[in-house]
Amino acid sequence: MNQSFLNRLLTQAFGVFLGIGIAVWLLRGFGLITFIPGGVILLLLLGAIAIGLISYVQKTWWRF
């Protein structure tokens, strides 16, 4: 697997997780989707942070 391909994939995954997490959080705050528990939103945002950190480490640490 090419390093630039992996970096692009991780960056896209970070954006998707962050975008979905923020969208669900806002829609739940407006009362449009009330059936989604707060833990799911928290997992989405924590997943985005984890993927973002992995992407950053993958870019900066040459052995990874």
pLDDT digits (tens, 9 = 90+) for 40-56: 999 999 999 999 999 88
Beta carbons within 8 Å of 21's beta carbon, 6+ residues apart = 41, 44, 45, 47, 48
Q: Is this prediction's pTM over 0.85?
A: no
Instruction: Give pLDDT, residue 50.
Output: 94
- Domains of the chain, residue spans: 3-60
Kindly state the greatest CA–CA separation across the chain. Answer: 46
